[in-house]
Amino acid sequence: MSAEQAFEQDADIASVGSMRRLMAAQASMMAIPVLGFPAMSVPTGVAGGLPTGVQLLGRRFDEDTLLEAATVIEARTGVFTPIDPR
C-alpha cells in the first residue's frame, strides 16, 4: 500500500526528487509480490479530482479469493471510468 494518497499526474517524470518521493512512498508494495502474496488495487471513486481505491492483499498463492473480494467491492462501488490522460 502506498504511504501517500494519489500522486499528481507526471509525478514520476517531474524531477529526480519527485521520483524518489514516489518510490519511497511505494516501497512497501515492491516486496509483496516477490514473497508470493497476491495484491491488487480496486478503484472506489474520485476525491478532489484524484482517484481513490483500496488495495487488497491475499494469502500466499491465493489469487482466487482476492479476485472474489475485488468483485464484491466493485459490485458495491460500481465501475469507474479512468481519468482522461489528455
Domain with 43, as residue range(s), is 11-77
Q: What is the DSSP letter of 86?
A: -
Q: Is residue 2 part of a domain?
A: no
Does residue 3 belong to any structural domain of this protein?
A: no
Question: What's residue 1's pLDDT?
Answer: 62
pTM of the model: 0.63
User: Is 86 contained in some domain?
Assistant: no
**12 Cβ contact list (under 8 Å, min separation 6):** 18, 19, 22
Total structural domains within the chain: 1
Q: What is the pLDDT of residue 85?
A: 64
Reported as half-sphere exposure (CB side, CA atoms, 13 A), residue 60 has a value of 4
Q: pLDDT (tens digit, 0 to 9) for every residue of the chain, 86 residues total? A: 666 777 778 888 889 999 898 888 888 777 888 888 999 989 898 888 777 888 899 999 899 999 999 999 999 998 877 666 66
Q: What does the block give as the cell for 43?
A: 478503484
Residue 5 lies in a domain: no
